[in-house]
Amino acid sequence: MKQVLEPSSARRNPVDHILDLIESGELRPGSRLTETDLAQRLGISRTPVREALHRLHTMGLAEHGPQRGLVIAHPSVDHIRQLFAVREGLEGMATRLAAEHASRAEVNLLREMVMQDRELTDPLKLLARNKLLHSQIVQASHNKFMVEALSNLRVHLSLLPGSTYTKADRVQSAQAEHEEIVEAIAQGDGDRAERAARLHISEGFQIRLKMLAEGSNA
């Protein structure tokens, strides 16, 4: 069921609203983006929607579909490679900063989160918890520009199909990697934390590539 926003919330930037729809999964790669539909959904006129769609196209989140108009973009393999290269660098640095600046309360929260995640087996719940943990680590960096950069990157990540948590053994390996990252943060070891975070992102990327290859050969 399509969500129609209240007038008060419609005063937000329409680009932000559309990004929310992408992150929530309501708009997926290939979803058509029409001015009329979005204007009705957001409770605004078509002019700001038209401007928002132009910006989304500039950001690489929308592309021209087989028919007239724009659709949510399908990320290419090259796009994904570039995305993970940036993610590895930024999250590695964010994790280093978290090791240097996280408060005791933040460290305790991260430890509690990884302990709770040990009990989970459902891929969708694990994916949601994974996003939450990564977000909490970035917040613990206490660098607002890092938070903003990775928030923007997360929108692009939400376009990737499937979840690496559906692959055999990834749940256990990812949880072990999370525990290593959090322990490094708790010890205040920036080098170890960054190294662990980079390895974690790299491992996820390799599994993502295998998933794409399996999909193309299916």
Token pair of 110 as six digits:
């991260």
Q: Domain check: are 54 and 113 in the same one? A: no
H helices present in 27-121, as ranges: 35-42, 46-59, 77-101, 104-117
Q: Domain check: are 65 and 87 in the same one? A: no
Instruction: Quick: pLDDT tens for 76-94.
Output: 899 999 999 999 999 999 9
When the pLDDT of each residue in the chain is averaged and rounded to a whole number, the result is 89
- pLDDT at position 12: 66
Check residues 68 and 176 and name the one with the higher pLDDT. Answer: 176
In a domain, 3, yes or no: no
Quickly state the pLDDT bin for 218 (edges 50, 70, 90).
very low
Confidence check: pLDDT of 6 > 50: no
Q: Domain check: are 92 and 65 in the same one? A: no
Q: Domain check: are 42 and 111 in the same one? A: no
- pLDDT at position 1: 45
Residue type present at position 62: A
- pLDDT at position 96: 99
Which of 43, 72, 101 terminates a domain? The answer is 72
**Domain assignment of residue 213, given as a range:** 77-217
Q: Domain check: are 81 and 22 in the same one? A: no
- CA pair distance 112, 130, nearest whole angstrom: 13
In a domain, 135, yes or no: yes
Task: Residue 61: give its domain's CATH number.
Answer: 1.10.10.10
Instruction: Quick: pLDDT tens for 40-75.
Output: 999 999 999 999 999 999 988 999 988 778 999 988
* 25 φ/ψ angles, rounded to the nearest 5 degrees: 90, 0
Q: Domain check: are 58 and 81 in the same one? A: no
Radius of gyration from C-alpha coordinates of the chain: 19
